[in-house]
Amino acid sequence: MAKKPSPIKKDVSNDKIQALEAFKEDSSEQFLTTNNGVRINDNHNSLKVSDRGPTLLEDFVLREKITHFDHERIPERVVHARGAGAHGIFQVYESLEKFTCAGFLTDPKRETPVFVRFSTVAGSRGSTDLARDVRGFAVKFYTEEGIFDLVGNNIPVFFIQDAMKFPDLVHAVKPEPHNEIPQAASAHNTFWDFISCTPESMHMIMWVMSDRAIPRSYRMMEGFGVHTFRLINAEGQSHFVKFHWKPLLGVHSVAWDEAQIISGRDPDFHRRDLWMAIENGDYPEWELGLQIIPEADEHKFDFDLLDPTKIVPEEMVPVQRVGRLTLNRNPDNFFAETEQVAFHVGHIVRGIDFSNDPLLQGRLFSYLDTQLTRLGGPNFMEIPINRPLAPVHNNQRDGFMRQTINKGRTAHDPNRIGGGCPFQAGWKQGGFVSYTQAVEGSKIRARSASFSDHFSQAALFFNSLSLPEKNHLIDALRFELGKVEIEEVRVRMLSLLAQVDGGLAASVAEALTLDVPDQPPRPLNLNVGADAEEGASEPQPIAFDPTKSPALSQANQPCSPETRRIAVLVADGFDASDVAGLRKVAEGEGAMVDLVSTRVGQIKDSSGRLHLASFSVYTVDSVLFDAVYVADGGKSVENLTLHINAVRFLQNAYVHCKSIGISGSAVQLLKLACPRVNDGGEAGVLVGLKLTAEFVGSLAQHRYWERENTLKPGFEEKPDV
């Protein structure tokens, strides 16, 4: 169904996006004014009685300016507070009218404007981009039939199965209330206390402790709708659907140690990366993928489609790539657009509908409710970034910050005074009609037994990882649980990990100086209420045969040199022809080259010509680049060896398993930085002359994890099943 991905486009235009421009500030009039349009002749001095006298209360310019400043901040999001956004377009490859009547999915000629916001979840607005965390991936489609918000994450499952537990989850992962510590981190007592009492979280824990939780960039992470939705076609037929976003650059991550260094060097690393990619014309692109499941197949899986802690493995239901998302324009104002954008899972259009997923059902209430507080009232949809392109006609009136000026005397329905307008729309007139589903049962606080298997897919995920990915996950658990001060919590977690994989639990236990419990404790009865039906309190065991799903491992992701950043270490006396050769090959493959020297500014090559070094080893580290190349030139290399930061720059690139190119005499710096590899021969370390093409080609492998240590003690790699 999908077309073959084309190279990343450098020029994307869309006239429909211009409809969103009508509400932007007109900069043609340059006079400074008050908010009601009065021109200001002095914006630097308040109105006073003499130049040293008291300030007058009548200074309406001062009062307006200070009052507005005092009220500039709005409440940050409770979760997903720190984010970055961009504008773009979406276009479907071929009509999906067999499955849906949504116009933006059935008309291949239509370019639908979008606004996408990426975010971390746990931290505040001032936290780092590189926290180990889930990443939000929210897409607002400005369709001709209204707004559709696909509000998801970069992880396809979630911690909990029912929205009733969401406040507890967030309270647990947020900074602990007695001292507001730690910020943007899950490595603390309350989070792991909650998780150790919530076995349903174990699948999500595998994802969050994996490399997926520390992406290389927003441009290199997947997105998921998480829940099961419905597609409805023109005949009213329903199919279940799972939404995916597949990045054309592949899914890639940074090392945990690297992430911590980046947080110190550039806590805005992901924001800056997204912004600069768009400014450079390297427009980030994803393909929309759909897993479409006939309604008749709902119960043919050994898990429940309505369970948000479960995936549908791609080997069971392939992901059909049906359209392209391209981000091609940065916001003009962060607050007005990225901060004020209001997503809501309840924003759907004709042709898309909900399932009975209990977490999704809770989100349908929560998202609307939170916008009322955060954006000051029910008129948040009139903020330009939230305003639909489709015309809006209804009888809703007034409220805080109302901008629409409604004409006429009627604001009620039905009416005759206004000629009956606005009219209801039937199905054939494009009206939204909720899917008709028969529902029958007792009113009860309980959870289906089909939601009871909490470990099969956690094991599936772990078994599917490559050896380096497994080691990273083990290291993450050792770090996180090592920060937990309460031994009882650590023991409970080891018991849960043992039900995922015995070797995994043993390896983590070794770092905690604990033994894995022989028998798991009886689960707390958290899933069923006191008024549950008889027998429902005992989850029914579901037999499973864990297999591997190659789609879950980042080792199987595409990778190329495109948009990769290469740091070229140089100092006075470097070989300019060596650097020029590298730049030609690298830029021909879509990579970027930056000169990094012992100082910022002009440096001389071996012939005395001047070149501009954008960075110095005192302002950046190799963690901010994808690869390091040390240029030839005896004097240059000699100068670099005298600077400890240059030595560390190369050392960190080696430790973090990046491609390293050592040209000619630069081997002297390699001997100093990495004595045991000074002759080369290690994966991803290239030593010699005229190696630019080979070095750039090595970027096609994201990292050379072979350099890392072998398996952790107590852990054995599982054979293929």
CATH number where 132 lies: 2.40.180.10
Instruction: For residues 37 and 117, state if they share a domain.
Output: no
715 pLDDT higher than 90 = no
What is the sign, positive or negative, of the torsion defined by CA atoms of 501, 506, 508, 514?
positive
Question: How far is it between the farthest Cα atoms of the chain?
Answer: 90
**Would you call 252 a catalytic residue per the annotation?**
no
Centre a 10 Å sphere on the Cβ of residue 707 and count the other Cβ atoms it contains. 17
Look at strands 83-92 and 112-120 and give their pairing: antiparallel
CB neighbours of 178 closer than 8 A, spacing ≥ 6?
none
Cβ–Cβ under 8 Å, residues 292 and 99? yes
676 within some domain: yes
Number of domains in the chain: 3
Q: Which helix (H) or strand (E) holds 471?
A: helix 467-482
Residue 286: CA atoms inside 13 Å, Cβ hemisphere, count? 27
Instruction: Clarify whether residues 240 and 264 are in a common domain.
Output: yes
Q: Are residues 46 and 90 in the same domain?
A: no
User: Does residue 149 share a domain with residue 242?
Assistant: yes
Asked if residue 627 lies in contact with residue 694, where contact means CB atoms within 8 angstroms, the answer is: no
Q: Is the pLDDT of residue 230 over 60?
A: yes
Residues 89 and 57 in one domain: no
d(CA 150, CA 613): 43
- Give yes or no for residue 675 having a pLDDT over 90: no
Active site residue 36: no
Do 329 and 254 share a domain, yes or no?
A: yes
Cα–Cα distance between 317 and 307 in angstroms, integer? Answer: 16
For residue 347, give its domain range.
Answer: 85-163+221-386
Q: Does residue 357 share a domain with residue 244?
A: yes
Q: How many CA atoms lie within 13 A of 272 on its CB side?
A: 12
Residues 265/620, Cβ–Cβ less than 8 Å: yes
pTM for the whole structure: 0.91
Among 615, 677, 676, smallest CA distance to 646 is for 615
Give the tens place of pLDDT for each residue, 100-145.
Answer: 999 999 999 999 999 999 999 999 999 999 999 999 999 999 999 9
Q: How far apart are CA 405 and CA 399, in angstroms?
A: 12
pLDDT digits (tens, 9 = 90+) for 571-581: 999 999 999 99
pLDDT band for 342, please (50, 70, 90 cuts): very high
Does residue 104 sit in the same domain as residue 65?
Answer: no
| Domain identity same for 65 and 96 | no
pLDDT band at 425 (very low <50, low <70, confident <90, very high): confident
Task: Answer yes or no: is pLDDT of 680 > 70.
Answer: no
The DSSP secondary structure of 292-304, one letter per residue, reads EEEGGGTT-SSS-
What is the average pLDDT score of the chain? Answer: 90
C-beta atoms surrounding 400 within 10 Å: 11
Q: Is residue 472 part of a domain?
A: no
Q: Give 140-174 pLDDT, tens digit per residue.
A: 999 999 999 999 999 999 999 999 999 999 999 99
User: What is the token pair recorded at 169?
Assistant: 């989850």
- Residue in 267, 263, 354, 342 with CA at minimum distance from that of residue 308: 354
pLDDT for residue 233 is more than 60? yes
The reply to whether 248 falls in a domain is yes
Amino acid letter, 268: D
Characterise 351 by phi-psi region: left (phi > 0), alpha (psi -120 to 50), beta (else): left
Comparing 709 with 192, the larger pLDDT belongs to: 192
How many whole angstroms separate alpha carbon 389 and alpha carbon 605? 56
Taking residues 324-340, what's their average pLDDT?
97
> Which residue, among 85, 393, 360, has the nearest Cα to 226 in the 3D structure?
360
Alpha-carbon torsion angle 215, 219, 222, 223, nearest 10:
110
Looking at the domain assignment, is residue 349 inside a domain? yes
pLDDT over 90 at 29, yes or no: no
Q: Clarify whether residues 109 and 61 are in a common domain.
A: no
Q: CA 269 to CA 133: how far, in whole Å?
A: 15
Query: So what's the pLDDT on residue 530?
Result: 37
Residue 38 belongs to domain with CATH number: 4.10.91.20
Catalytic residue among 80, 87, 472, 643: 80
Q: What are phi and psi of 632, to 5 degrees?
A: -70, 165
- Which of 153, 328, 527, 652 is catalytic? The answer is 153
Measured CA to CA in angstroms, residue 170 lies from 175, 194, 362 at distances of 10, 10, 15
Same structural domain, 37 and 156:
no
**pLDDT tier at 525, thresholds 50, 70, 90:** very low
How many CB atoms within 10 Å of residue 428? 7
